[in-house]
Structures are given as C-alpha cells and as structure tokens.
C-alpha cells in the first residue's frame, strides 16, 4: 500500500479541490434532474396512456439503456477530453428536457429520447472518474469517490421526494423545464471549472475499442469481483427500499411514517460514510469491509417479524450505515484497473451498478407478488449475506504492503 493511501485525509481537503467541487455540483444537479424527469415522464405517460406497464417503462427508461452505453460506447471516456464529454452530456440532457417540455411529443418518441441520452451516462460517469483519479490522490481519492456516490444517493432521494409536489405545483411541462435548467447549469459549471486535458487515445472504432477494453477489464485480476462486491449488495439495498411502499401499505402505516422509512436508509448512509471516513485510518477501513457488509445485509432479515415502526426505521438506518463498506474498496479498484482504461473501468462499474440496481427491485418485486412484502425484504437481506460470504476472498484486504 502506498504512503499516499495510508495517510488519512479529510473531507475539507477533498472540497478544497476546485475540480472536485465542480464534479460534485454537476452530479448533484444532474442526478436530481434525471430522477425528477423520470417521475414527471411517468406521470405524463400514465396521463396519456393509462397503462401501468408503459408508466413503469417510463420510470426506468433512463437506467436500463445505460447497459448498452457501457457495453458499446465506454471507450469514449478514454478517447476524448473529460471536460468535453461531461459538458456535452449535460447539454444534451438539457436539450431533451426542453423537447419534453415544449415538443408535445408522442409517448414513444419521448421514451426513445430519454433512452438515447441515457446511453451516454456511463461515458460521462467514466470521464468524471478519470478526473477524480487525476485531481485527487491517496486517501482524498477514496473520500472523493465516496462523496460522489453519496451525492447521487441523496440527489435521487430529493428528486423522488420533490417530484410529486413539484409536478402538482408546476405541471409536467414546467417540471421538465426545471430539469432542463438544472442540466444547463451543470453543463456551465463543468465548462467553467473543469480543466482542459489532452486526448489520451485516438483512432479506431469506438465500439471495437469499447469491446476490447471491456475484455481487458474482465481479464484484469480482481476487477470483476471488485465490481460485483460494489454492485450486488447495492442492488439488494435498492430492492429493500423499493418494497417499502407496499410494505407500509400492508402494515397500514401513515404517509408520514412511510416517508420516514423511505428516508431512513439515506440517513444511515450519511452517518456511516462520515463516521467511517473520519474516524478510521485507510487500512482500518479496508479491514471493515466484511463487517460493514454484514451490517448492511443482516438487519432486513428481521422484517420476517411484524416489528414496530421505530424498529423498522432502525433496521433501515443500520442497513444504510453498512454501505460505508464502499470506502474500503475504492483504492483497490483504482489499483486493479489498468491505467490506460481508467475511464472505461469507471464506466463499466457505473453500467453494472445501474443495471443491477434496476434488475434487483424487479426480481424481489416478483417475490413480493407471491409472498408478503416483509418476507421479500427479508430475502434481500439473506441474499446480501450469502453474496458477501461467496465473495469474501475479494473482500479480504491484502496483507502485502
């Protein structure tokens, strides 16, 4: 382990870096706008079609196409300047928001537009990952990656929570306009505060380079297992959260009680990340990966019982705390990815994460159709613990220095 990774950093040091602040602000605005647009698009589609299936498609259309982008376009993250990619990506999202706001488009066209621009999300995320690896060193990189993840979670929470109220107040079209404005602001911030960098690779087909790069990443020792450790538990966590509304209905909780449960995981994530990030040295964080994963996976199993509302909230807070395990994996993932494939490596990680997080709620949602919602949530915990034990070799920190 290098000296820069053994020296503990602070969040203040991370935010002192101008380019990190630009990435942080852009991601906050971008993810919040994406989530808000998903809610608005689902409302729009349901009002036009009265179809629950098309409404569900509208709600998830921004996620699944990312798999195509990661599989066939991710090499762009190492081909072009990160500032160009990030700025252009937010600008295209702004354009889509404007078209949805003013275009009065057919449902199919609206869905295709959102799907098309979603294909570029892994590229933008990969480019942002490149910037983080360039401007942050040692433990500041670990904390920066964690903050980047947390801001995405928090932004999604705010987007979901604010979506219904904002649509009721402004209407769908004006809400789409708000998302366009937020994406435009993210693009301007990125253009002004991210540095110009030289193209690191040129020539050849993007698709061919992407496929070759993905093959190289799969072959690189440890990369796939590290991706699985970061993605699968997060998918179980997303599935447990997605079942809270039917579970709350089953338990006859009030809207306020349901809202508290929906916020509990994010509260736990914030607590876990701040405490583990500030209180423990980098080497200790790596040793805590396995215990924290068990902290994240075990509590939902208790929902096989009809716990009182405060106990259920505690379950979700504790589960969120366990997500701080990601702090102990950031250095290892950066070192496992070949240096000339850093952008594509982060793109592949994001693609896998978003795809599996989209699939997880669907799988356990099917279980909830045949079992009680509480039992389906308990199964997410069982699955998380089993996955943790199966991947414990990848989780175990290396003893060599």
Question: HEC states along the chain?
Answer: CCHHHHCCCCHHHHHCCHHHHHHHHHHHHHHHHHHHHHHHHHHHHHHHHCCHHHHHHHHHCCCCCHHHHHHHCCCHHHHCCHHHHHHHHHHHHHHHHHHHHHCCCCHHHHHHHHHHHHCCHHHHHHHHHHHHHHHCCHHHHHHHHHHHHHHHHHHHHHHHHHHHHHHHHHCHHHHHHHHHHHHHHHHHHHHHHCCCCCCCCCCCCHHHHHHHHHHHHHHCCCHHHHHHHHHHHHHHHHHHHHCHHHHHHHHCCCHHHHHHHHHHHHHHHHHHHHHHHHHCCHHHHHHCHHHHHHHHHCHHHHHHCCCCHHHHHHHHHHHHHHHHHHHHCHHHHHHHCCHHHHHHHHHHHHHHHHHHHHHHHHHHHHHHHHCCHHHHHHHHHHHHHHHHHHCHHHHCCCCCC
Closest by alpha carbon to 222, among 325, 336, 305, 128? 336
Mapped to the 3 state alphabet, what secondary structure does 280-338 carry? Answer: CCHHHHHHCHHHHHHHHHCHHHHHHCCCCHHHHHHHHHHHHHHHHHHHHCHHHHHHHCC
What is the rounded distance in angstroms from the CA atom of residue 232 to the CA atom of residue 363? Answer: 13
Rounded distance, CA 21 to CA 51, Å?
A: 41
Q: Do the Cβ atoms of 54 and 103 come closer than 8 Å?
A: no
What is the pLDDT at residue 400? Answer: 46
Write the CB contacts of 256 (distance below 8 Å, at least 6 apart in sequence): none
> Of 2, 4, 8, 3, nearest to 285 (Cα)?
8
Q: How many other CB atoms are there within 10 angstroms of residue 53's CB atom?
A: 9
Quick check: 21 and 148 in contact, CB under 8 A?
A: no
Q: In the chain, which residues fall in CATH 1.20.1250.20?
A: 8-212, 220-401
Tell whether domain 8-212 is in CATH 3.40.50.970. Answer: no
Positive or negative CA dihedral for 350, 352, 354, 355?
Answer: positive
User: Measuring CA to CA, which residue among 170, 165, 18, 2 is closest to residue 101?
Assistant: 170
Q: Cα–Cα distance between 187 and 207 in angstroms, integer?
A: 26
Phi and psi based region of residue 50 (left: phi greater than 0; alpha: psi -120 to 50; beta: remaining): left
Q: What is the pLDDT along the chain (401 residues), one digit of tens a residue?
A: 455 556 778 888 999 999 999 999 999 999 889 888 887 887 788 788 877 557 656 766 777 787 787 777 777 877 888 999 999 999 999 999 999 999 888 888 988 999 899 888 888 888 888 898 889 888 888 888 878 877 777 777 677 667 767 887 888 889 999 999 999 999 999 999 998 765 555 556 777 888 888 888 888 888 888 888 888 988 898 888 878 877 888 888 887 787 788 778 878 888 888 888 888 888 888 899 999 999 999 999 999 998 999 999 999 999 999 989 988 888 888 888 887 787 788 778 877 877 777 677 778 877 877 888 899 899 999 999 999 999 888 777 665 44
Q: At what angle do helices 373-390 and 289-297 cross, to 10 degrees?
A: 160
Whole-number pLDDT of residue 314? 95
Task: Give the pLDDT score at 280.
Answer: 86
CATH 1.10.357.10 is right for the domain spanning 220-401: no
Total residues found in the chain within this entry: 401
**2 close to 283: Cβ distance less than 8 angstroms:** no
For position 209, what pLDDT does the model report? 80
């Amino acid at each position: 382990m290098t000296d820069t990774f053994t020296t503990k950093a602070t969040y203040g040091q991370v935010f002192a870096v101008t380019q990190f602040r630009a990435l942080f602000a852009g991601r906050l605005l971008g993810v919040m706008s994406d989530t808000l647009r998903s809610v608005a698009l689902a409302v729009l589609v349901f009002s036009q079609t009265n179809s629950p299936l098309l409404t569900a498609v509208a709600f998830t259309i921004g996620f699944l196409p990312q798999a195509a982008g990661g599989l066939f376009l991710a090499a762009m993250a190492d081909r072009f300047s990160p500032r160009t990619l990030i700025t252009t990506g937010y600008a295209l999202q702004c354009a889509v928001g404007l078209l949805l706001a003013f275009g009065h488009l057919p449902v199919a066209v609206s869905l295709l537009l959102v799907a098309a621009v979603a294909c570029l999300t892994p590229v933008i995320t990969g480019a942002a990952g490149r910037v983080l690896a360039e401007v942050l060193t040692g433990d500041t990189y670990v904390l920066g990656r964690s903050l980047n993840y947390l801001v995405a979670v928090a932004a999604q929470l705010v987007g979901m929570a604010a979506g219904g109220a904002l649509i009721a107040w402004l209407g769908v079209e004006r809400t789409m306009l708000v998302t366009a404005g937020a994406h435009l602001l993210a693009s301007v911030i990125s253009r002004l505060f991210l540095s110009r960098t030289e193209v690191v690779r040129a020539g050849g087909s993007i698709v061919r380079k992407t496929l070759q790069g993905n093959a190289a990443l799969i072959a690189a020792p440890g990369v796939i297992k590290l991706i699985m450790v970061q993605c699968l538990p997060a998918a179980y966590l997303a599935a447990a959260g997605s079942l809270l509304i039917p579970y709350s209905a089953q338990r006859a909780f009030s809207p306020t009680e349901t809202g508290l449960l929906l916020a509990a995981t994010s509260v736990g994530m914030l607590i876990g990340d701040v405490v583990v990030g500030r209180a423990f040295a980098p080497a200790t964080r790596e040793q805590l990966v396995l215990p924290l994963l068990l902290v994240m996976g075990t509590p939902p199993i208790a929902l096989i019982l009809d716990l009182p509302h405060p106990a259920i909230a505690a379950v979700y807070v504790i589960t969120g705390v366990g997500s701080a395990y990601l702090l102990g994996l950031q250095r290892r993932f950066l070192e496992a990815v070949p240096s000339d494939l850093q952008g594509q490596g982060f793109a592949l990680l994001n693609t896998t994460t978003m795809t599996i997080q989209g699939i997880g709620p669907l799988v356990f949602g099917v279980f909830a159709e045949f079992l009680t919602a509480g039992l389906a949530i308990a199964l997410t915990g069982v699955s998380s613990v089993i996955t943790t034990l199966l991947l414990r070799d990848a989780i175990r920190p290396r003893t060599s220095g």
